[in-house]
A and B are shown apart, each in its own frame.
Chain A
């Protein structure tokens, strides 16, 4: 648990992966280009001394992930968002079942979301039920721009999609994380479109729609929709690392998001291993709006706001009582292995910052 300016900050990283893009697992040229592109994102927004080598980056195991999350104790919990991509990788890229092993080993540290694709039809419906039965699943990740055979993607507001969303309601899966943003093979401009969120969100007020990557490059459309739909949230994956070298641009984007959505509907996500939360959380905490941006947007990006974005808002969506969770984490295997027990006692914890 991170301690900043004398306050404990409970961090739930809302968007993480454990992927395998090893040479043996790559099935097609697309799979190779996909991980290359990820690596460009990684190096483009990671401080030089924290960059991984390309080989490390292709595939990493549970130990590496655990070290990256818990060595300096900055992150308390993570939410896995699966990305199957079976057209690209023989065994899939970042799959529900592989992620599940991690959550089974460290049940209080990781949440694994499911996934569905309405184009899978009845089989897909059964798979969604299976996933929900395997674990107490509260969320799914959906990837509307994914290619499948002849199809170039699907819309969240289609009839087929609504059948799956109805099933989610029935199964108690209430958080729908939609990947909208940097995408695979966007043959059509519409791969980025966020308009389908609008209808889906008004049709299913009991569900929460978390738009990952805050819709970049459709940030403006996203903000406008979110301003009108109270159950639409923004996931900061990709946006947060702009704070590294592009503080001014990061400030503008935060200004827009806070202006249109407010501080209760934004979730931090490192997109690990695109970026490492151990340094990204700190960078995020230290970032500020310029005085001109504060005046322009009239919003507060102080510590209370950051605490909400870093953990409290996700805790709300995933029914986590932070105080109770701290008690659970105090003596779990991770705390014992990394010596984090004292952080979770009632006193101010004090994760060791890098510097």
Chain B
């Protein structure tokens, strides 16, 4: 082994919590939830490298079933690779997908920097199209949460459809103040559903400017007051879908981890 002593290693910027925090923004694209919170990560290994101040990081993860969509598995592995490899104290990154029907193709493909289409030439449509359709679903579900929060804060449908991104910039921590009627009064709403919505709406690319409407129909058009109610109900079903599917995956994940002997408890 190298001569790196334990003191040096402790000084490195890379640690278990640092890696897990870096992985936290990586989402299961179908469930719109962090792969760390979903319990997919089996193991993070940090080892020294010959360049004394940088580490070799290996992350092993398992999905709820052996045939979770290879496209989704690829996105998670690829996002995880990017999240870890861009940390300053990381020299090399290896992401290992375990117990999946395409574990070898995905693990090798990701770690050697190949594109999805090269590894799975028979998949219809590119990865970006899949990602875009999942982002779209996630945006609808997040729009439900954001609009729901605004309705609960006392805003009317008419006020909500008139909002623009620049109306929701005044946030102090947990609450955001939205000024109505030329700033004559403000409504206070929880910040999180609003920023989470904005993030995904930007990801999807349905917003057209800071002073253009904030909320959008599935096709990306501004929401008229006439369709507000029905649209809100449709978005509610997108939310229930993502919750329902999340529940199914959570139960499968628990069962599978027990069967594989990787249960936390």
The interface residues of chain B lying within 8 Å CB-to-CB of A43 are 255, 258-259
B259 touches A219 (CB 8 A): no
Whether A5 is near chain B, meaning CB under 8 Å from some CB there, is: no
**Distance of A150 Cα from B64 Cα, bound (Å):** 26
Known: A30-B101, A217-B245, A253-B244. A187 touches B123 (CB 8 A): yes
A216 touches B251 (CB 8 A): no
Whether B70 is near chain A, meaning CB under 8 Å from some CB there, is: yes
Whether A98 is near chain B, meaning CB under 8 Å from some CB there, is: no
Whether A99 is near chain B, meaning CB under 8 Å from some CB there, is: no
B66 touches A220 (CB 8 A): no
A185 touches B252 (CB 8 A): no
**Distance of A242 Cα from B238 Cα, bound (Å):** 18
B244 touches A216 (CB 8 A): yes
Whether B133 is near chain A, meaning CB under 8 Å from some CB there, is: yes
Mask, A256-286, CB within 8 Å of B = 1, is 1001100000000000000000000000000
The interface residues of chain B lying within 8 Å CB-to-CB of A37 are 65-67, 252
**Distance of A260 Cα from B237 Cα, bound (Å):** 10
The interface residues of chain A lying within 8 Å CB-to-CB of B234 are 220, 224
Whether A133 is near chain B, meaning CB under 8 Å from some CB there, is: no
A5 to chain B, nearest CB (A): 28
Residue of B nearest to A238 (CB): B248
B124 touches A152 (CB 8 A): yes
The interface residues of chain A lying within 8 Å CB-to-CB of B123 are 187-188
Identify which of residues 233-265 in chain B touch chain A, using a CB-to-CB cut-off of 8 Å.
Answer: 233-234, 236-238, 240-245, 247-248, 251-252, 254-256, 258-259
A256 touches B65 (CB 8 A): no
Whether A40 is near chain B, meaning CB under 8 Å from some CB there, is: yes
Mask, A27-45, CB within 8 Å of B = 1, is 0011001001101110111
Does more than half of chain B's interface fall in helix, strand or loop, or is it mixed?
Answer: helix
A242 touches B259 (CB 8 A): no
Whether A245 is near chain B, meaning CB under 8 Å from some CB there, is: yes
The interface residues of chain B lying within 8 Å CB-to-CB of A188 are 69, 71, 123-125, 130
A319 to chain B, nearest CB (A): 32
Most buried by B among A36, A44, A216, A242: A44
The interface residues of chain B lying within 8 Å CB-to-CB of A184 are 67
Whether B182 is near chain A, meaning CB under 8 Å from some CB there, is: no
Known: A216-B245, A217-B245. A190 touches B237 (CB 8 A): no
Known: A40-B252, A40-B259, A44-B251. A187 touches B70 (CB 8 A): yes
**Distance of A325 Cα from B181 Cα, bound (Å):** 66
The interface residues of chain B lying within 8 Å CB-to-CB of A255 are 240
Whether A119 is near chain B, meaning CB under 8 Å from some CB there, is: no
> 7 closest pairs, A vs B, by CB?
A44-B251, A217-B245, A220-B237, A219-B241, A40-B255, A44-B255, A220-B238
Chain B residues in the interface with A (C-beta under 8 A): 30, 64-67, 69-71, 101, 120, 122-125, 130, 133-134, 137, 140, 233-234, 236-238, 240-245, 247-248, 251-252, 254-256, 258-259
A–B pairs, 30, beta carbons within 8 Å: A30-B101, A37-B67, A39-B255, A40-B65, A40-B252, A41-B255, A43-B258, A44-B248, A186-B67, A187-B69, A188-B69, A188-B124, A188-B125, A189-B125, A189-B134, A216-B248, A217-B242, A218-B241, A219-B240, A219-B245, A220-B240, A220-B241, A224-B237, A242-B244, A242-B248, A246-B251, A249-B243, A249-B244, A252-B244, A256-B237
Chain A residues in the interface with B (C-beta under 8 A): 29-30, 33, 36-37, 39-41, 43-45, 150, 152, 182, 184-191, 216-220, 223-224, 238-239, 242, 245-246, 249, 252-253, 255-256, 259-260
Q: Apart from A238-B248, A246-B247, what are 4 other A-B pairs with CB-CB below 8 Å?
A: A41-B251, A187-B122, A220-B240, A255-B240
